[in-house]
């Protein structure tokens, strides 16, 4: 049976505009203009272009892209920050950036289907459990924000056929092969998230906190006032 969620989804996708999600190793914040220069630098890397099937953009195009993502009702993008670095207010936020993650509704007529993309762009941060933590957080956020209780929700990912690490990671979360495109050299994996999967695969999500990004950033940037003696 078709699940008509669209009006809810429309409201929800923009909800992350001021949302900060805090995990154990990462902090997720909405992608904003301050993040674009570092993001652009990453995407100049031929390795990342290949792994994420992205085209190189100029800095100006990257700014346009950020604005369009922000205004897009069907897409929800977060920048992944190193939590430990971000806790140090002397380090500018741009220097805490390690990757990005987004969730979007692929088919506007079917809001029970979402596609997920993730990138740990900074190589020295890979293989340390960040990808798994962010995937859990993002799927939980998507599911709890987008899903009407007891209805099914399907997550899909499209991955290059040679990108074995990413394929292995999503299979750990019970994603299964849905189709393979030899033309695009990519596989589509999918998983239906229900209560059972949530409980057994994602486990306890109590570690994840949601806060207001604007306030958290202002507190972080507030000048340090030494206590007078």
Ligand X SMILES: CC(C)(COP(=O)(O)OP(=O)(O)OC[C@H]1O[C@@H](n2cnc3c(N)ncnc32)[C@H](O)[C@@H]1OP(=O)(O)O)[C@@H](O)C(=O)NCCC(=O)NCCS
Residues that bind ligand X (CB under 6 A): 51-52, 99, 118-120, 126-132, 159, 163, 165-166, 168-169, 172
Contact present, 105 and 155 (Cβ < 8 Å): no
Closest distance of CB 170 from ligand X, Å = 9
Closest distance of CB 211 from ligand X, Å = 23
Closer to ligand X by Cβ: residue 14 or 174:
174
Our CA angle for 83, 87, 91, nearest 5°, is: 100
Closer to ligand X by Cβ: residue 24 or 212:
24
Closest distance of CB 202 from ligand X, Å = 14
Closer to ligand X by Cβ: residue 108 or 129:
129
Closest distance of CB 12 from ligand X, Å = 23
Closer to ligand X by Cβ: residue 92 or 127:
127
Closer to ligand X by Cβ: residue 6 or 132:
132
Position closest to ligand X via CB: 131
Closest distance of CB 162 from ligand X, Å = 10
């Amino acid at each position: 049976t078709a699940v008509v969620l669209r009006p809810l989804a429309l409201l929800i996708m923009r909800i992350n505009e001021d949302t900060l999600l805090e995990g154990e190793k990462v902090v997720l914040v909405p992608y904003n203009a301050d993040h674009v220069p570092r993001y652009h630098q990453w995407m100049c890397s031929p390795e990342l272009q290949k792994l994420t099937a992205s085209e190189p953009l100029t800095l100006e195009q990257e700014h346009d892209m950020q604005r369009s993502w922000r205004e897009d009702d069907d897409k929800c993008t977060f920048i992944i920050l190193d939590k430990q670095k971000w806790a140090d207010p002397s380090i500018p936020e741009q220097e805490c950036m390690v990757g990005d993650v987004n969730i979007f509704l692929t088919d506007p007529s079917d809001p029970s289907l979402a596609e997920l993309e993730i990138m740990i762009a900074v190589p020295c941060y890979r293989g340390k459990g960040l990808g798994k933590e962010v995937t859990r957080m993002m799927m939980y956020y998507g599911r709890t924000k987008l899903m009407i209780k007891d209805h099914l929700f399907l997550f899909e990912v499209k991955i290059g056929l040679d990108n074995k690490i990413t394929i292995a990671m999503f299979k750990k979360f019970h994603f299964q092969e849905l189709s393979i495109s030899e033309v695009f050299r990519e596989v589509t994996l999918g998983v239906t998230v229900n209560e059972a999967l949530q409980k057994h695969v994602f486990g306890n999500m109590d570690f994840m906190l949601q806060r207001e990004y604007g306030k958290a950033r202002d507190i972080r940037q507030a000048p340090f006032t030494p206590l007078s003696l």
